[in-house]
């Protein structure tokens, strides 16, 4: 039987699952659905011109069909997890090792800290992909052209697959799901409930997808779990197409808007970048092990990993914002104060790397799709 519960906000507690929980989810037990309602004044549009107007967008759409990987068939879920090795004195996550509160933890607590930190990060991927799924579905209705509607439809299926794959990894490897970061929830709510279709494009295709690519790049380079590396590698291929779609579709549209509307969208992009740089720090795990929120934020901001993530983020974000016309003369001083204008002339995603996007999908030495 289906039980539906409507709530005013997302869960705030960690959900944990043991082997019995997993078995129960495959049985005929009652199913509970927890829903949080939001309303949006979405304005849809038909498009009666079915001709292809943008060859790049159509080519990206064709790539989406061609490289449509399957969570169950194209990932080897039997790969053994990396061993949870003993943590010796002075070792630990960057920034925490050597801290008196870290050194006071038992070896088992230190291993559990690392395990939970991984679950916390991947939980944000899961929640973010659900937001991307809903935004992409909105774009099918409100995108003004035929090409964009087709691409948004293919992206919706991509995002559904991403929700599926991160949920499966969390259930099988981590056995726990952390609540959504409040700042990520704020960004998703803003994009989902705004009535302007182009702000949805900016918020999702440029900002949130750019954020995801930065996070995935960091994980792909640092994880010692081959299964997670495979998962993130496949998701990154999809996200690369999504950002390229956003840049190519928006660059002409934004420049045709009145100046006041351009500045409004530039300010939105700047404020979203501030949130992504300063507030997308989850401190739940550190607080579970005795650190204060302020201590956890200070440690994260000082780590090489934290700095690398912010560098990846703005290396991608700033050139794309410049390309679509949102690095305006009025907004430039604000980004300059962040120290990120050094990235403005790097390669943007409007310069599509077709060789990379069209390369065969691989699982180890095996070709998944060519």
Between 47 and 365, the more confident residue is 47
Phi, psi of 36 (to 5 degrees): -115, 125
The CATH number that applies at residue 136 is 1.10.620.20
Cα–Cα distance between 88 and 106 in angstroms, integer?
A: 10
52, pLDDT greater than 60: yes
- Domain range for 361 is 2-369
Between 4 and 344, the more confident residue is 344
Q: Which residues contact 156 (CB under 8 A, 6 or more apart)?
A: 133, 136, 137, 140
Q: Are 297 and 281 in contact (CB under 8 A)?
A: yes
Percentage of the chain modeled with pLDDT above 90: 64
Mean of pLDDT over the chain: 89
Indicate the number of domains in the chain.
Answer: 1
Whole-prediction pTM value?
Answer: 0.92
Confidence of residue 32 (pLDDT cuts 50, 70, 90): low
312, pLDDT greater than 80: yes
Residue 263 structure tokens: 């500045």
182-227 tens-digit pLDDT: 999 999 999 999 999 999 999 999 998 888 888 898 899 889 999 9
Output the CA–CA distances (angstroms, integers) from residue 95 to 91, 121, 284, 301, in the order listed: 10, 17, 16, 9
- What is residue 367's three-state secondary structure? strand
Cα–Cα distance between 285 and 120 in angstroms, integer?
A: 7
Cα–Cα distance between 307 and 340 in angstroms, integer?
A: 12
Cα–Cα distance between 266 and 307 in angstroms, integer?
A: 24
Residue indicated by tokens 């994260």: 300
């Amino acid at each position: 039987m289906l039980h539906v519960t409507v709530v005013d906000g997302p869960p705030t507690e960690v959900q944990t699952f043991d082997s019995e929980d997993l078995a129960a989810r495959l049985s005929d037990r009652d199913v509970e659905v927890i829903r949080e309602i939001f309303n949006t004044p979405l304005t849809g549009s038909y498009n009666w011109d079915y001709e292809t107007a943008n060859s790049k967008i159509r080519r990206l759409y064709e790539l989406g069909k061609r490289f449509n990987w399957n969570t169950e068939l194209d990932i080897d879920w039997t790969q053994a997890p990396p061993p949870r090795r003993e943590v010796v004195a002075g070792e630990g996550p960057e920034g925490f090792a050597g801290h008196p509160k870290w050194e006071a933890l038992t070896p088992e607590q230190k291993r559990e800290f690392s395990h939970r930190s991984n679950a916390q990060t991947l939980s944000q991927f899961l929640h973010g992909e659900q937001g991307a799924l809903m935004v992409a579905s909105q774009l099918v209705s409100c995108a003004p052209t035929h090409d964009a509607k087709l691409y948004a439809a293919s992206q919706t299926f991509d995002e559904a697959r991403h929700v599926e794959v991160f949920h499966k990894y969390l259930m099988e490897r981590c056995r726990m799901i952390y609540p959504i970061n409040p700042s990520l929830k704020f960004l998703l709510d803003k994009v989902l409930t705004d009535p302007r279709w182009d702000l949805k494009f900016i918020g999702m295709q440029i900002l949130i997808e750019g954020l995801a690519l930065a996070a995935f790049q960091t994980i792909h380079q640092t994880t010692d779990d081959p299964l997670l590396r495979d998962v993130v590698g496949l998701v990154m291929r999809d996200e690369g197409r999504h950002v390229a779609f956003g840049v190519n579709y928006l660059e002409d549209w934004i420049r045709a808007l009145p100046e006041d509307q351009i500045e409004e969208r530039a300010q939105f992009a700047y404020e979203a970048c501030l949130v992504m740089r300063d507030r997308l720090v989850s401190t739940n795990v550190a607080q579970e092990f005795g650190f204060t929120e302020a201590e956890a934020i200070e440690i994260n901001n000082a780590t090489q990993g934290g700095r690398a993530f912010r560098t990846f983020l703005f290396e991608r974000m700033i050139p794309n914002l410049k390309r679509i016309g949102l690095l305006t003369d009025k907004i430039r001083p604000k980004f300059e104060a962040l120290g990120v204008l050094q990235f403005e002339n790097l390669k943007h995603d409007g310069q599509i790397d077709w060789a990379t996007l069209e390369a065969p999908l691989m699982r180890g030495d095996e070709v998944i799709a060519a």
